[in-house]
Amino acid sequence: MSRIGKKPVAVPQGVTASVDGQTVTAKGPKGELKFVVNDEVLVKLDDGAIAVEPRDQSKDARSKWGMSRTQIENIVTGVKEGFERRLEITGVGYRAAMQGKNLQLALGFSHDVVYEAPEGVTISVPKPTEIVVNGIDKQVVGQVAAEIRKYRGPEPYKGKGVRYAGERIVRKEGKKK
């Protein structure tokens, strides 16, 4: 029995949600998102909350039950508040800057890396060593942050590179003489 799937998703003030067959749509102050729920799961809208339950007790239906509820909660939260992912840059000469809508990264390569933000995602650089990724779709925000981090991930000896804010890097001991 899914503990997450059992809880209904409350629709907050300022957000309108609708269920049309297997499609859940949420509109809010930040925008509009849709999610198509798998056929194994049944979705209902009642009393200002979206309830999710499996169609039968098969393993496949039960495995998609909690994930579907979480996806619906993410679209409701996204249109209301949005999502944010922070990245930190560590290293001598490593920095970030905005170049119009593009993110320009100096990460120790012979050239600067230019990252073009996809539609629906805004990237800001409050400090040269900090990047903030904002958007309404949690999956897209996480994907953009992962792509930026992938250019120069944190290395284990000095900790140089791009990492998520609050990420703990397990450091290795260097060579001994």
Domain layout of the chain by residue ranges:
3-80, 83-164
* In the chain, % of residues over pLDDT 70: 99
Mean pLDDT, residues 87-96? 94
Please report the pLDDT score of residue 147 as a whole number: 96
Class of domain 83-164: alpha beta
pLDDT at 29 > cutoff 80: yes
101 φ/ψ angles, rounded to the nearest 5 degrees:
-95, -5
Query: Higher model confidence: residue 103 or residue 46?
Result: 103
pTM of the model: 0.88
Question: DSSP alpha helices (H): ranges in the chain?
Answer: 3-6, 59-80, 138-151
For 132, the token pair is 């903030």
Q: Cβ(131)–Cβ(125) under 8 Å?
A: yes
* In the chain, % of residues over pLDDT 90: 74
Asked if CATH classification 3.90.930.12 holds for the domain at 3-80, the reply, yes or no, is: yes
Q: Which of 61, 82, 55, 88 is nearest to 136 (CA)?
A: 82
Please report the pLDDT score of residue 164 as a whole number: 96
Topology match between the domains 3-80 and 83-164: yes
pLDDT at 77 > cutoff 90: yes
> In whole numbers, what is the pLDDT of the chain averaged over residues?
92
For 98, the token pair is 């905005």
